[in-house]
Structure 1
Amino acid sequence: MRDPGVRGAVQPKAMQQLRLVVDGDAALPETTRLVAPHVGAVTNRWRLEPLFADGGAPPYLIIAEVDEVVGTREYARQAHTLVQQLLGVPGLHQVEADVPVNGYQTPEAAPAFAGEVDLDGTEQLRWARDAIHCERAWQLTPEPGGRSHGEGILIGHPDSGYTDHWGLGLEALVLDSAWDAISDDSDAADPLVPPEQSPWPMPNPGHGTSTASVIVGRGSEALGVVGVAPRAKLVPIRATESVVQLFDSDVARSVDHARRAGCHIVSMSLGGKGFFGLRRCIQRAVESGMIIAAAAGNKVGFVVAPASYDNCLAVAATGFGDSLWEGSSRGSAVDVAAPGWSVHVAAFEWSQQPPGRLVRRSSGTSYAVAHLAGAAALWLAHHGLDTLQAAYGEAAIQAAFVHVLGQSSRRPQVWDSNNWGVGIVDAAALLAAPLPDPDSVLATVGAFSAMDDPVDRLSALLAGVDPGELRDALSARLGLSGSALDAALRRFEGELAYLLLEESDFRESLLAAARPGAFPPGPIIVPTSASPHLESLLG
Structure 2
Amino acid sequence: MTYRTKAALLAAAALAGLTAVSPSAYADEASAGPRIDGSGECTFPMKKQIAGIPWSLQRVLLDELWQDTKGKGVRVAVIDTGVDDVNPQLKPAVDASAGKDFLKPEKDAVDKAASDRGKTDGTVDEVGHGTKVAGIIAARPRKGTGFVGLAPEATIIPIRQNDEKNSGKSDTMADAIDHAIAKGAHVINISQDTTQALDAQSSLGQAVARAVAKEIVVVASAGNDGMDGKLKNTYPAAFPGVLAVASSDRNNERAAFSQAGEFVGVAAPGVDVVSTVPGGGQCVDNGTSFSAPYVAGLAALLRAKHPKWEAHEIIAQIEQTAERSINGRDNFVGWGVVDPVRALNESEDEKPPQSPAPDPDPPKPPAPEPAHLALSETPQERDERYATYALGIGGVLVAVVAGTATVVRDSRRSRRLQ
The Cα of 1:431 is off from its aligned counterpart by: 1.2
Q: Which has the higher helix share?
A: 1
The Cα of 1:100 is off from its aligned counterpart by: 3.3
Q: Match for 1:340: what amino acid?
A: G
Partner of 1:220: 142
The Cα of 1:266 is off from its aligned counterpart by: 0.1
Q: Match for 1:106: what amino acid?
A: G
Q: What is the alpha-carbon distance in structure 2 between the residues aligned to residue 123 and residue 180 of structure 1?
A: 33
Q: What is the alpha-carbon distance in structure 1 between the residues aligned to residue 315 and residue 251 of structure 2?
A: 24
Partner of 2:79: 158
Partner of 1:43: none
Partner of 2:152: 230
Higher relative contact order (CA 8 A, sep 6+): 2
String of CA shifts for 1:432-472, please: whole Å, max 9, x gaps: 2237657x73xx79xxxxxxxxxxxxxxxxxxxxxxxxxxx
String of CA shifts for 1:193-233, please: whole Å, max 9, x gaps: xxxxxxxxxxxx11111111110011426326310000000
Q: What is the alpha-carbon distance in structure 2 between the residues aligned to residue 324 and residue 371 of structure 1?
A: 15
From 284, 295, 300, the equivalent of 1:377 is 300
1:299 aligns with 2:231: no
String of CA shifts for 1:28-78, please: whole Å, max 9, x gaps: xxxxxxxxxxxxxxxxxxxxxxxxxxxxxxxxxxxxxxxxxx9599x989x
Q: Match for 1:100: what amino acid?
A: G
**1:394-413 aligned within 5 A:** 397-412=310-325
Q: Match for 2:155: what amino acid?
A: K
From 77, 81, 94, the equivalent of 1:173 is 94
From 247, 268, 287, the equivalent of 2:169 is 247
8 Å Cα contact 1:7-1:191 kept in structure 2: no
Q: What is the alpha-carbon distance in structure 2 between the residues aligned to residue 436 and residue 274 of structure 1?
A: 39
Structure 1, gaps ≥5 residues long: 10-69, 81-96, 110-121, 143-147, 193-204, 349-355, 389-396, 446-539
In structure 2, the CA distance between the partners of 1:136 and 1:188, relative to structure 1 (3 Å rule), is same
In structure 2, the CA distance between the partners of 1:130 and 1:152, relative to structure 1 (3 Å rule), is same
SS of corresponding position for 1:281: helix
The Cα of 1:294 is off from its aligned counterpart by: 0.4
Q: Match for 2:277: what amino acid?
A: A
The Cα of 1:311 is off from its aligned counterpart by: 2.1
| Count of residues in correspondence between the two structures | 312
**1:203-218 aligned within 5 A:** 205-218=127-140
Q: What is the alpha-carbon distance in structure 1 between the residues aligned to residue 121 and residue 152 of structure 2?
A: 23
Q: Match for 2:57: what amino acid?
A: R
Q: What is the alpha-carbon distance in structure 1 between the residues aligned to residue 337 and residue 280 of structure 2?
A: 31
In structure 2, the CA distance between the partners of 1:224 and 1:210, relative to structure 1 (3 Å rule), is farther
Q: Match for 1:151: what amino acid?
A: K
1:368 aligns with 2:298: no
In structure 2, the CA distance between the partners of 1:133 and 1:423, relative to structure 1 (3 Å rule), is farther
Partner of 1:500: none
From 110, 116, 122, the equivalent of 1:188 is 122
The Cα of 1:424 is off from its aligned counterpart by: 1.1
The Cα of 1:280 is off from its aligned counterpart by: 0.8
From 104, 120, 128, the equivalent of 2:56 is 128
8 Å Cα contact 1:125-1:221 kept in structure 2: no
What TM-score do you get using the length of structure 2 for normalisation? 0.66
Identical amino acids, percent of aligned pairs: 25
In structure 2, the CA distance between the partners of 1:433 and 1:361, relative to structure 1 (3 Å rule), is same
